[in-house]
């Protein structure tokens, strides 16, 4: 098993780019079965989640060819299947392909997605949308049995602005007969990007980025070429890494608008932050000031950056409260940060943090993707060496996090863990 060895004490500085967005790539790969001619997707992050998703598509007959981070995928000949349950359970968004696939092949069986360490992650809103469009989807002993004739447009109200359910319904509705509206839709940048991709296939979508999305179904969707935008969560993670080390870091070739919440919180914590349309530069003081964070659906503070931000606040001046409102247990990083000397009191979904002068390097364990990233960031400012174990979680969402940190001057390396 690999682990990351990080020797703390270096100020990060420099200019980096980040890979294509994991969450946009996964959304696009869910939609790809709708394309009846080949698609070329550029700038796909080569991480375990995207590779697993492509393998799942191949089990339905898709033909995929990787050329570096470009992926050519042909879904012209698809067939029904029941993909390997263990593989399905490796990634949650395997479920998001169900609607597009059943619209193409008529019926299929797919194991229910796993939850993970951050929460139960139900799919009731996905099912509400698929049923409204006329698909039959029933759970039979942990496996979904799905079938659909022609899907019909419908009005769908989401009890909460679920990013996944919004994506799933938008995809399925693209080939439904008639008009579908999604009310209380998610407004994340991933939704806007997915709508762009679907539109490039010939879909007719409006309202993406707002809470009311309208999809006018079309008979057929064809292939296209689409470039995955930069990963806003990776960008936010490295900006926080720069800020908490008193450094000067620029992330370029991104959509700076996606960083509004992070930029404002870093400024509130005392960092100077300059933005252009496609870059963000953080120039931080020796020590940030504590701030309060409450995660919210977009455009609120992104839940995926909450854990890295909590790591930064462990060494800030004064007290901070970090409240997680999206997931019920996105707190796996807290006990590990405490092992490093952080002063944290957890109450339910909230962490009450009092900044300490120094963290001490320790052997810590990543429990989920963003918790792992948070522990790497804590290692950057800790005295001595930090060994982050279970880094397969980190590799799901960061293509070689140690390479990026090293580019910025950190002392970080991947080592064999005994």
Member of 164, 217, 246, 308 binding ligand EPZ (CB under 6 A): 164
Question: In the complex, what is the shortest distance from the CB of residue 316 to ligand EPZ, in angstroms, rounded to a whole number?
Answer: 23
124 binds ligand EPZ, rule: CB under 6 A: yes
Member of 43, 50, 162, 320 binding ligand EPZ (CB under 6 A): 162
Member of 102, 132, 173, 369 binding ligand EPZ (CB under 6 A): 369
3-state secondary structure of 110: strand
DSSP single-letter state for residue 288: P
144 binds ligand EPZ, rule: CB under 6 A: no
126 binds ligand EPZ, rule: CB under 6 A: yes
Member of 88, 326, 334, 382 binding ligand EPZ (CB under 6 A): 326
Q: Which residues pair with 157 in a beta bridge?
A: 183
Q: Count the site residues for ligand EPZ by CB under 6 A.
A: 28
d(CA 168, CA 164): 6
d(CA 198, CA 204): 8
Question: In the complex, what is the shortest distance from the CB of residue 283 to ligand EPZ, in angstroms, rounded to a whole number?
Answer: 27
d(CA 239, CA 267): 12
Residue window 196-235: x/- pattern of binding to ligand EPZ, with contact defined by CB under 6 A? -------------------------------------x--
Question: In the complex, what is the shortest distance from the CB of residue 79 to ligand EPZ, in angstroms, rounded to a whole number?
Answer: 26
d(CA 224, CA 336): 45
364 binds ligand EPZ, rule: CB under 6 A: no
Gap between the terminal Cα atoms of the chain: 7
Member of 18, 123, 137, 376 binding ligand EPZ (CB under 6 A): 123
Contact 382, 360 (CB under 8 A): yes
Contact 109, 120 (CB under 8 A): no
- The closest of 154, 171, 45, 189 to 96, measured between CA atoms, is 171
Member of 121, 252, 267, 294 binding ligand EPZ (CB under 6 A): 121
122 binds ligand EPZ, rule: CB under 6 A: yes
- Which DSSP helix (H) or strand (E) runs through 252? strand 248-252
DSSP single-letter state for residue 73: E
Judged by beta carbon, residue 236 or residue 290, the one nearer ligand EPZ is 236
Choose one: 3-11, 19-27, 247-255, 343-351; the region binding ligand EPZ (CB under 6 A): 19-27
Judged by beta carbon, residue 162 or residue 255, the one nearer ligand EPZ is 162
Contact 232, 25 (CB under 8 A): no
Contact 412, 16 (CB under 8 A): no
CA distances to 155, 295, 302, 330 from 325, in Å: 27, 6, 10, 9
Catalytic residue among 75, 116, 171, 376: 116
Judged by beta carbon, residue 32 or residue 125, the one nearer ligand EPZ is 125
Member of 237, 303, 320, 390 binding ligand EPZ (CB under 6 A): 303
CA distances to 10, 236, 311 from 243, in Å: 12, 11, 11
Contact 210, 216 (CB under 8 A): no
404 binds ligand EPZ, rule: CB under 6 A: no
Choose one: 119-127, 131-139, 148-156, 234-242; the region binding ligand EPZ (CB under 6 A): 119-127
Alpha helices in 163-293 (DSSP H): 163-174, 189-200, 232-244, 260-268
Q: Respond yes or no on whether the N-terminal peptide bond of residue 249 is cis (omega within 30° of 0).
A: no
Member of 238, 301, 327, 393 binding ligand EPZ (CB under 6 A): 327
Contact 375, 311 (CB under 8 A): yes
3-state secondary structure of 167: helix
163 binds ligand EPZ, rule: CB under 6 A: yes
Choose one: 104-112, 159-167, 172-180, 252-260; the region binding ligand EPZ (CB under 6 A): 159-167
Question: In the complex, what is the shortest distance from the CB of residue 334 to ligand EPZ, in angstroms, rounded to a whole number?
Answer: 16
Question: In the complex, what is the shortest distance from the CB of residue 323 to ligand EPZ, in angstroms, rounded to a whole number?
Answer: 14
Question: In the complex, what is the shortest distance from the CB of residue 91 to ligand EPZ, in angstroms, rounded to a whole number?
Answer: 8
To the query of whether residue 116 is one of the catalytic residues in this protein, the response is yes
Choose one: 35-43, 143-151, 170-178, 183-191; the region binding ligand EPZ (CB under 6 A): 183-191
Residues 75-104 as b/e (b if ≥16 CB within 10 A, e otherwise) read: beebebbebeeeebbbbbbbbbbbbbbbbb
Active site residues: 116
Give the interface with ligand EPZ as residue ranges (CB under 6 A): 22-23, 26, 93, 119-126, 160, 162-165, 186, 188, 190, 233, 303-304, 326-327, 369-370, 397
């Amino acid at each position: 098993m690999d682990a990351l060895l990080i020797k703390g004490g270096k100020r990060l500085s420099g200019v980096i780019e980040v890979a294509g967005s994991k969450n946009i790539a996964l959304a696009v790969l869910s939609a790809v079965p709708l394309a009846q001619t080949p698609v070329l997707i550029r700038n796909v992050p080569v991480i375990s989640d995207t590779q697993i998703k492509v393998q799942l598509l191949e089990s339905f007959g898709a033909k995929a060819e990787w050329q570096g981070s470009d992926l050519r995928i042909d879904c012209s000949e698809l067939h029904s299947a029941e993909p390997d349950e263990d593989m399905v359970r490796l990634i949650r968004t395997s479920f998001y392909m169900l609607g597009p696939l059943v619209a193409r092949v008529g019926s299929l069986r797919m194991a229910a997605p796993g939850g993970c360490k951050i929460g139960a992650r139900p799919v009731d809103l996905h099912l509400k949308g698929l049923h409204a469009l006329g698909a039959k989807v029933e759970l039979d002993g942990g496996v979904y049995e799905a079938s659909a004739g022609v899907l019909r447009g419908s009005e769908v109200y989401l009890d909460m602005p679920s990013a996944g359910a919004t994506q799933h319904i938008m995809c399925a509705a693209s080939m439904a007969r008639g008009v579908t509206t999604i009310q209380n839709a998610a407004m994340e940048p991933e939704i806007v990007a997915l709508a762009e991709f679907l539109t490039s296939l010939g879909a007719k979508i409006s309202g993406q980025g707002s809470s009311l999305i309208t999809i006018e179904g079309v008979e057929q969707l064809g292939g296209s070429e689409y470039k995955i935008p930069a990963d806003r969560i990776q960008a936010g993670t490295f900006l926080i890494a720069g800020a908490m080390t008193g450094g000067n870091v620029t992330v370029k070739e991104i959509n700076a608008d996606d960083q509004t919440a992070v930029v404002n919180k870093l400024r509130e914590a005392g960092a100077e932050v300059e933005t252009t349309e496609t870059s963000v530069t953080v120039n931080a003081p020796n020590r940030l000031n504590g701030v309060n964070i409450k995660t919210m659906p977009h455009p609120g503070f992104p839940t995926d950056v909450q854990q890295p931000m909590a790591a930064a606040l462990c060494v800030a001046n004064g007290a901070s409260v970090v409240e997680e409102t999206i997931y019920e247990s996105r707190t796996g990083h807290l006990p590990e940060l405490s092992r490093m000397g952080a002063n944290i009191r957890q109450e339910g979904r909230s962490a009450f943090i009092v900044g300490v002068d120094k963290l001490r390097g320790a052997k810590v364990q990543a429990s989920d993707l963003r918790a792992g990233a948070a522990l790497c960031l804590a290692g950057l400012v800790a005295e001595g060496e930090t060994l982050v174990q279970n880094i397969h979680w980190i590799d799901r969402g960061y293509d070689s996090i140690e390479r990026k940190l090293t580019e910025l001057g950190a002392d970080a390396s991947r080592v064999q863990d005994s």
